[in-house]
Amino acid sequence: MQESTPELPLFMKTPIQTGDEISITGKWIPKTKGGIFRKSVDSQEMLQEWEDIHSDARDHEGMLSTEINHAIGQDAVLVHHIFKNEEALAAYFSHTANEHSEALHRVAKPGFHLIRGMKVSDETRTALSNRGVSGTFGEYSYGFVKNDYQQPDPSKAVQVTAKWTCKQGQSIEELKQWWLRVGTEVYDVEEGMLRFEVYQVIGENALIIHETFESSDDLKFHLTKGMAAKYKKEIDQVAIPENYFFRGPVSWTIRTYSKFMGLPATYSSRGSHFTREGGSMSEGKTNHKSKNKMENQGVMVVYKWTAKEAKSEELKAIYNEVTAQMKANEPGALNVQCYFDDSSSTLVVVDVFADAGAVGFHLGTTAAGHFESLLAIANPGEFLFCGNIPEDMQAAATGMGLNATFAPNVFGFERS
């Protein structure tokens, strides 16, 4: 059900490419609560039952992605499924879900679920209701997706799915206009918001909002300084938030701050997860990576070693070992190149890593294993870390005695 759509900016007029995919994000709670440590029998059996469901769900042909996430600070499970289409969803609930239904409902009860897609048929709504899934069904209204639908790094990205319901006497069109303002301005102001989607709830004056942030820091900016902060007062006058589901590494400071904002939030750490090869358009493609490595948290390290007298060949030999070990043992090392200037006995090295975590792994393994041998035969020059390096990793590099400069990317271009 779609009423009139607000006037959209140009970047929202491109049709979304999720096609027939259906996404379900929902919460389950044990009948006998086990507290934050989940010690009740019902709590333990609920967790085990969902792990069994996850194991079977990943074998379901129409399941594109499935996650079983443990809620943080409360006794609950936050589940997320993406189905290829409504037929795949119906087949899943007729077989996999049906086989586990009795055992699951014996120890747990469903909380609220948010179901969204381009269209959601009456048959799908009835099928889910008959299975005891209490939820809201939303059909796509407007939004945008950046980076050619590439899936962001799951270890850093935060997914936010929420329901906003109009207050009595307030207009759904006014609520849609306010969220359109958020999406229009956020596109340029907040580079870290990769996805913004608005779904109109069927049969209610309500919206489902789905947002994807590249990292917890990007979410923090959005809530404290970005468009959520700018338009909070206006949206609060029109509607109330009913459910907020956060999936991803949300920092404790954001969890605390969101309580002051009055968000009825459930946060979850990433538990068992499965994404079919190629990914999905609802969460992002995984079949190839964006060519812009620096925008995707890539890190380049450029440095040099100057060999002591008569030690040039020994320096080259050590770096032959280093590159061989990196190739064999460091999947996050994407490109390693060594250059040698005979006139100054200087070795120049260029390393490209997938992310800061790959840099840290290198420093703690291959680099640490050869560092003392290198210091015995060569003098280190400046180490230039080009990309986003966390403060603790910067301290570790400095602690190794490296003359290091840490420079995040600010501008430039890449030609294919």
pLDDT exceeds cutoff 80 at 173: yes
Only one residue has tokens 């997860």, namely: 273
On whether both 71 and 191 belong to a single domain, the answer is yes
- CA proximity to 204, closest of 123, 114, 132: 114
On whether both 29 and 134 belong to a single domain, the answer is yes
CA-CA distance, 65 to 404, in Å (whole number)? 41
CA-CA distance, 265 to 258, in Å (whole number)? 8
172 phi and psi, to 5 degrees?
Answer: -65, -30
On whether both 279 and 165 belong to a single domain, the answer is yes
CATH number for position 360: 3.30.70.100
Average pLDDT rounded to a whole number, residues 60-85: 91
Return the higher-pLDDT residue of 253 and 378. Answer: 378
Q: Over the stretch 218-232, which tens digit does the pLDDT of each residue have?
A: 999 999 999 999 999
On whether both 263 and 322 belong to a single domain, the answer is no
Q: Residue 238 falls within a domain, yes or no?
A: yes
Task: Report yes or no: 323 and 351 within 8 Å, Cβ to Cβ.
Answer: no
Number of Cβ within 10 Å of residue 168's Cβ equals: 6
Model's pTM, two decimal places? 0.68
Listed residues 229, 251, 285: the one ending a domain: 285
On whether both 273 and 298 belong to a single domain, the answer is no
Task: Report yes or no: 342 and 315 within 8 Å, Cβ to Cβ.
Answer: no
pLDDT exceeds cutoff 90 at 398: no
Q: Residue 413 falls within a domain, yes or no?
A: no
On whether both 387 and 350 belong to a single domain, the answer is yes
Q: What contacts 84, CB < 8 A, 6 or more positions away? A: 20, 21, 61, 62, 63, 64
CA-CA distance, 45 to 59, in Å (whole number)? 22
Return the higher-pLDDT residue of 41 and 54. Answer: 54
Kindly state the tokens that stand for 248.
Answer: 């991803």
Q: Residue 416 falls within a domain, yes or no?
A: no
On whether both 162 and 229 belong to a single domain, the answer is yes
On whether both 260 and 330 belong to a single domain, the answer is no
Kindly state the tokens that stand for 263.
Answer: 């968000």
CA-CA distance, 353 to 336, in Å (whole number)? 9
Kindly state the tokens that stand for 216.
Answer: 């917890």
Residue type, 125: R
**Percent of residues in the chain assigned helix, strand, coil, to nearest 5:** 35, 30, 30
On whether both 281 and 315 belong to a single domain, the answer is no
In this prediction, residue 337 carries a pLDDT of: 97
DSSP characters for 373-400?
A: HHHHHEEE-EEEEES---HHHHHHHHHT
DSSP characters for 67-113?
A: EEEEBSSSS-EEEEEEESSHHHHHHHHHTHHHHHHHHHHHHEEEEEE
Q: Which residues pair with 275 in a beta bridge?
A: 65
Q: Residue 196 falls within a domain, yes or no?
A: yes
Task: Report yes or no: 366 and 322 within 8 Å, Cβ to Cβ.
Answer: yes
Residue type, 375: L
Q: Over the stretch 241-299, which tens digit does the pLDDT of each residue have?
A: 999 999 988 887 777 777 777 778 899 877 888 999 999 999 999 875 444 434 446 89
Alpha-carbon dihedral of residues 311, 317, 319, 323, nearest 10 degrees? 170
For 252, the domain range is 10-285
Number of domains in the chain: 2
Q: Classify residue 371 by burial, with Cβ atoms within 10 Å: 0-12, 13-18, 19+.
A: middle
On whether both 350 and 391 belong to a single domain, the answer is yes
On whether both 44 and 78 belong to a single domain, the answer is yes
On whether both 26 and 175 belong to a single domain, the answer is yes
Return the higher-pLDDT residue of 31 and 175. Answer: 175
